[in-house]
Structure 1
Amino acid sequence: MVYLVEHFYSIQGEGKYVGTPSLFFRFGGCNMRCEGFGCIEKADDGVEVLGCDTVYAVNKEHFSHTWIPITKPQELLSVLELYDLPCAVDIVLTGGEPLIYANDEVFVTFLELLIARGHQVTFETNGSLNIDFEHYPVYKECVFALSVKLANSKEPLSKRIRGDVIYNIASNAKDAFFKFSIDRDSIDLALEDEIESIRIHSPKTKVYCMPVGGTKAEVEANTEPLIEFCKAKGYNFSDRLHIRIWDANKGV
């Protein structure tokens, strides 16, 4: 079963395509929790859940009331009719982790319909779940933002870094780039080594580093140290433009 948590039309706030008008589909479910990011979301039942800045799309136990079950591709495709969109607007599939549905017939058909209509489709993924590009060639027409998790996520190394998966995606996708979430306390001599240990699986893939934060204040606190790190190491700095503009508001 595919679960859709929310959809919204905005601009891309992160990575290589920052500023691009994009229609976002946020899917529910993830194979990681990333409690190290320290973002807290209060559920309707009063429970405070720790995780990433989209923990409501990760934790089904406390946020299931916002998870919409999808049984047909047309249910997803019909979302496009709710907005006044430019022709072939960019589509961003995020989560949670959208690739938990990579082999789902409904999900794959939805992708095929989007590509057939001329949309650029970008996945925001943690890069730990493999894709069968030969069985599902539609993925070769997609862009992948590889947000591989670093040690600051507090996820185990063997779970968050899968060299074979990174290589497979970067080698077969239409386009791919690394996008790392970094807080000021993680910027030390070991950080470059950690990033390079990931890049070794796809050395030509560009690196974008963005500040950790679920609020404008958190993003701003981590921004300047990260910019200096990027300047010193030659990485690309990626703002989190949507948070800087709209703060912690969802769906913008």
Structure 2
Amino acid sequence: MGGCNLACRWCDTPYTWDWTGVGDSGVAYRPRDELHPMAWREVLERLRAYEVPMIVVSGGEPLSQQARLLPLLRALIDTGHRVEIESNGTVVPLPELAGLGVRFNISPKLAHSGDEEERRLVPEALAALAAVPGTAFKFVCRTRDDLDEVASIVDRYGTTPVWIMPEGQTPHEVDRHIAALGDDVVARGWNLTTRLHVAVWGDRRGV
């Protein structure tokens, strides 16, 4: 999905929203090149052609367009697909969406994203998402200090279960950060995951 209400400096999909070059790459993408409106029925047919059991909706920020997503998601679920939505956790989900049985993978942003706290942490949205069964919270981290910030967010907003993912655009960066974080993540009783798409394809698009 295109468009985002945040502007994380290290975002790995800046081409979905960064029209001014505020990200770490400094590249200003052109929406006319990157965004292509499509009817939901056309999207449905393309997704069904992959013949996979699960569809993950990512962005950008998908919940900014959640009303438009509803017919597509209903159709996917009706045809037997499992559906997951990745979100930054700043938008309250519509009751109709929360009731569909989709899984929410929520990634609240930390201070190193460059976004102001009042923009990246929205209490009513986090509470609503935490109340949906099966929701998981993933935090992108670089250092042990980031884990302290995660703990503070968990204490304030009840954002569990916790998954920690290392930040990085290259396999080397991911390896370095996960090595720095691993022991502390395990000691806190949280879950640790890598960035499989970066490990396999680096920062290549369209994979």
Asked whether the two chains share a fold, i.e. TM above 0.5, the reply is yes
Q: Which residue of 2 aligns with 1:28?
A: 2
Asked if residue 69 in structure 1 is aligned to residue 43 in structure 2, the reply is no
Paired residues of 2:74 and 2:100 also in contact (CA < 8 A): no
- Paired with 2:61 and 2:116, the residues of 1 have a C-alpha distance of 17
- Paired with 2:92 and 2:185, the residues of 1 have a C-alpha distance of 29
* Offset from partner CA, 1:63-96 (integer Å, 9 cap, x none): 32121112x220210112443x24xx11100011
Asked which structure has the greater RCO (Cα within 8 Å, sep 6+), the reply is 1
Aligned with 1:179: secondary structure?
strand
Q: What stretches of structure 2 of length at least 5 have no aligned partner?
A: 21-28
Q: Which residue of 1 aligns with 2:72?
A: 110
Match of 1:145 among 105, 124, 130: 105
Counting only pairs closer than 5 Å after superposition, residues 165-184 of structure 1 correspond to structure 2 as: 165-172=125-132, 174-184=133-143
Match of 1:244 among 199, 202, 207: 199
Counting only pairs closer than 5 Å after superposition, residues 45-194 of structure 1 correspond to structure 2 as: 52-60=11-19, 62-64=29-31, 65-70=33-38, 72-83=39-50, 85-86=51-52, 89-104=53-68, 107-133=69-95, 136-137=96-97, 139-172=99-132, 174-184=133-143, 187-188=144-145, 191-194=146-149
Shift of 1:202: 5.2
Q: What stretches of structure 1 of length at least 5 have no aligned partner?
A: 1-26, 38-51
Aligned with 1:231: secondary structure?
helix
Aligned with 1:69: secondary structure?
coil
Shift of 1:130: 1.0
Asked if residue 208 in structure 1 is aligned to residue 163 in structure 2, the reply is yes
Aligned with 1:121: secondary structure?
strand
Paired residues of 2:104 and 2:136 also in contact (CA < 8 A): yes
Of all paired residues, the percent bearing the same amino acid is 32
AA of the residue aligned to 1:176: T
Query: TM-score with structure 2 length normalisation?
Result: 0.87
Paired residues of 1:111 and 1:138 also in contact (CA < 8 A): no
After TM superposition, the runs of 4+ consecutive aligned structure 1 residues lying more than 3 A away are 137-140, 200-204
* Offset from partner CA, 1:11-69 (integer Å, 9 cap, x none): xxxxxxxxxxxxxxxx110001111x2xxxxxxxxxxxxxx111011224623212111
Query: TM-score with structure 1 length normalisation?
Result: 0.73
